Structure 1
């Protein structure tokens, strides 16, 4: 089997490959320039190892914030070039502004240009090689999907929207009730043979995805063939697992009575050490956030007087951990009495948002008072966003598993906030719920750090909503 399967890289392997070789390319470019050309600003010596370490830290940090490892963007020359130029520009700027840990500014300013070009050109050349070789179809993962048409459509749509590195070589309709081909699957080849070993060898299948919640839909010949392929080492995965890996969401709408299989919550939810440090950083970040916000308070007060006309602060009832209501603090971004007729979904380009309120939202300054909620223990820095009781009642009746959001503290920011837009409808709320449950399921220091970095990116580049 191994001899017929095509060579491919997993998503995590591709991201690790990009990160490691980006750093190696950067250091190699600087090494070449410093040894061949008249370039004295950056030299590799045992005594100056800190220079290299600081440069690597800056580059890794900003490349993550600026999504240089987004695999869809990394497969195109234009977006790759734009990302490299922006990332290297900010990296070099910060590097130059920290002379305590980096070389002193050169007298010849051309040295800075050489520094920028050495890093940019080296990384871009490596990325071109990556796009030409590793992003090419020869390294795609060939997928065979088995299941009923509805789940096959869900899985194929998730693959097409979220990765360029999967090739669906065909599907097998396992339902005996569906005899005609679904027109929405016309672009995929339907395979009628039940000899999966022959199909897997002919199509060089890398992985089989079972897109069905009903085991009885799999005929005995298909079931026996799957067992045989599993014994050869061919990966066979359940489609909800693959959907999570691709979208970083839990597809709750497709989970049935066997829900317990898909909700093994992260051990971090009960890990006392994790919870201690989580609370510790909550307090530290909140205190720092409130102190820093004092610097902007005079400007916010003036802006509120001119562009908001009314009280600066407001409180609103939200639902917290275990369904306990609490008062959330915010800077007012809407007109006074915006919800005098009842709770209304916030929408994009909402007419109730004032001009100054729009600035507060885009910069996320309207969320600053919630640091008080964090200090009081009602919220955390990271978690599902708290909703109003009226919406919680409505959504918990229409969305299965919605109340699971309340097993942890709500957050100032969260996985759903950095991954999707406003929840202006039940459909949007379902998408946010999928992200929230993914966070609860996979909660960890690494995921928390990822959310913090993406939130900083939103604030720094004024991408709030």
Structure 2
């Protein structure tokens, strides 16, 4: 018996790239706003001092660009360029204010290290205030513009069963649907119906005719059962008219930044692309790891020394805690952490997940876990090559054995090195159950399929936000 397939990977990659291009365009526009803000601030500052303005103008474009790059890097660290991020108005304002505050502080430090880049405190302050207003207006304008139905893709779903209904349960009507308008669901004959009647489109009209009448841009193919169920002739007719045909797994990967375990079959994982293990990628990732870990150690060693003294003073026992974890290819290694729990935390030898308010945690341990300072010794694991800076968090062998039996595709996360931080840590809270592990795996698999140098850098920058807002710490 043949099996009908709809891959949609090329379409998914194309539309995902369009999202990345939109984000890049937004970044370029905001760099331009900040550069113009510096120029305008300098003009106002030297309005009655033409000679001073002439002196300032020498090398001004380079210095203005430095201001823009530092500020937008701070914005990236606070998730302002996250494709899958959702921020309400207050959250957005807080992130933008913190971005400019941290960016301004970083610039003052840079001016101390490299005096040649200095533009003056008056010019800098005025430029940051002006740029803040400009970026805020641009973001509001772009949001209003691109959330209009005119600029969003018109999506029709082929299927109205349990798989198709995941679009309703996983992609909420607000931020998750910013890039598309959901026109409705078409039930497939002989398959169960789970979508409410208000969202279903039923009638004698063919898929191709319906798609043309509704001016559909994309059809998401979401059957509960594929064997012999898909109207391939009608789907081909849609494709011939330029309508994108997208598999449900690819749609979720693109719109939500996850791999949906319930609908992703092995053949989709095999044929949908990704999993880059080429020599250039391995070399770039290793270079990135060595550079990032070395710089972090150079900056963090005084803090690490203070943590060592605090742990030693707070409770008896070793300062460093060594624990066996599972790494790339299922190989075990010894992970290093600053000890945050009592020495008798697992005296019976039974592995346990940490929980909220865990009474095994010491006083200093609660603080260093909340601020992630307990993870700093893992920089040594990165330098050894046992871990990467970015990747799925490593689990203990006992949990891996259990989760591999209970969760589909769990072993796939071991196809890359585990990381100090990762996509799941940005997108999901700390996990302390099988259900949490399953949810986090959706993000880990997305990373494993789509990892790259730029993606690693964005995750690393956005980890700053996780630490500052204390998300996921226990």
Considering the TM-score relative to the shorter chain, is it more than 0.5? yes
The CA distance in 1 between the partners of 2:381 and 2:214, in whole Å, is: 56
Which of 63, 73, 96 aligns to 2:75? It is: 63
The CA distance in 1 between the partners of 2:85 and 2:266, in whole Å, is: 38
Q: What residue in structure 1 maps to residue 180 of structure 2?
A: 166
Contact 1:147 1:211 in 2 (8 A): yes
Once the two structures are TM-superposed, the CA of residue 93 in structure 1 deviates from its matched residue by 3.0
Which of 206, 230, 237 aligns to 2:239? It is: 230
Contact 1:72 1:164 in 2 (8 A): no
Contact 1:74 1:131 in 2 (8 A): no
**What's the secondary structure of 2:287's corresponding residue?**
helix
The CA distance in 2 between the partners of 1:383 and 1:225, in whole Å, is: 41
- Tell me if 1:299 matches 2:313: no
The CA distance in 1 between the partners of 2:235 and 2:75, in whole Å, is: 41
The superposition leaves residues 136-181 of structure 1 with CA deviations (integer Å, 9 ceiling, x where unpaired) of 3332322110124111111233332733332211110114143xx5
Superposition RMSD in Å: 3.0
User: What are the equivalent positions in structure 2 for 1:23-172 lying under 5 Å apart?
Assistant: 23-35=31-43, 45=57, 47-70=59-82, 77-99=89-111, 100-106=115-121, 109=122, 111-160=123-172, 162-172=176-186
Once the two structures are TM-superposed, the CA of residue 94 in structure 1 deviates from its matched residue by 2.5
Which of 178, 196, 207 aligns to 2:218? It is: 207
When residues 140 and 348 of structure 1 are mapped into structure 2, their CA distance, relative to the original with a 3 A threshold, is farther
- Tell me if 1:340 matches 2:347: yes
Once the two structures are TM-superposed, the CA of residue 129 in structure 1 deviates from its matched residue by 2.1
Contact 2:162 2:224 in 1 (8 A): no
Contact 2:67 2:107 in 1 (8 A): yes
Structure 2 residue runs without a partner (length 5+)? 1-16
The superposition leaves residues 411-447 of structure 1 with CA deviations (integer Å, 9 ceiling, x where unpaired) of 2222222322222111111122222222221121112
When residues 156 and 42 of structure 1 are mapped into structure 2, their CA distance, relative to the original with a 3 A threshold, is farther
When residues 354 and 186 of structure 1 are mapped into structure 2, their CA distance, relative to the original with a 3 A threshold, is farther
Which of 400, 414, 423 aligns to 1:406? It is: 414
The CA distance in 1 between the partners of 2:273 and 2:84, in whole Å, is: 30
The superposition leaves residues 254-289 of structure 1 with CA deviations (integer Å, 9 ceiling, x where unpaired) of 23353554564423x1x2233233223433443444
When residues 47 and 260 of structure 1 are mapped into structure 2, their CA distance, relative to the original with a 3 A threshold, is closer
Tell me the TM-score normalized by structure 1. Answer: 0.85
User: What are the equivalent positions in structure 2 for 1:355-434 lying under 5 Å apart?
Assistant: 355-434=363-442
After the TM superposition, which of the residue ranges 72-81 and 412-421 deviates more from structure 2?
Answer: 72-81
**What's the secondary structure of 1:227's corresponding residue?**
helix
**What's the secondary structure of 2:335's corresponding residue?**
strand
After the TM superposition, which of the residue ranges 306-315 and 359-368 deviates more from structure 2?
Answer: 306-315
Contact 1:308 1:333 in 2 (8 A): no
Q: What residue in structure 1 maps to residue 202 of structure 2?
A: 191
When residues 350 and 23 of structure 1 are mapped into structure 2, their CA distance, relative to the original with a 3 A threshold, is same
Q: What residue in structure 1 maps to residue 324 of structure 2?
A: 317
Q: What residue in structure 1 maps to residue 454 of structure 2?
A: 446
When residues 279 and 73 of structure 1 are mapped into structure 2, their CA distance, relative to the original with a 3 A threshold, is closer
When residues 239 and 440 of structure 1 are mapped into structure 2, their CA distance, relative to the original with a 3 A threshold, is same
When residues 321 and 311 of structure 1 are mapped into structure 2, their CA distance, relative to the original with a 3 A threshold, is same
User: What are the equivalent positions in structure 2 for 1:248-259 lying under 5 Å apart?
Assistant: 248-256=257-265, 258-259=267-268
When residues 166 and 409 of structure 1 are mapped into structure 2, their CA distance, relative to the original with a 3 A threshold, is same
Once the two structures are TM-superposed, the CA of residue 45 in structure 1 deviates from its matched residue by 4.1
The CA distance in 2 between the partners of 1:375 and 1:69, in whole Å, is: 29
- The structure showing larger relative contact order (alpha-carbon pairs under 8 Å, at least 6 residues apart) is 2
- Tell me if 1:16 matches 2:24: yes
- Tell me if 1:275 matches 2:282: yes
The CA distance in 1 between the partners of 2:125 and 2:199, in whole Å, is: 50
The CA distance in 2 between the partners of 1:262 and 1:302, in whole Å, is: 52
Once the two structures are TM-superposed, the CA of residue 194 in structure 1 deviates from its matched residue by 3.7
After the TM superposition, which of the residue ranges 448-457 and 286-295 deviates more from structure 2?
Answer: 286-295
Once the two structures are TM-superposed, the CA of residue 378 in structure 1 deviates from its matched residue by 2.3
After the TM superposition, which of the residue ranges 441-450 and 19-28 deviates more from structure 2?
Answer: 19-28
Once the two structures are TM-superposed, the CA of residue 392 in structure 1 deviates from its matched residue by 1.0
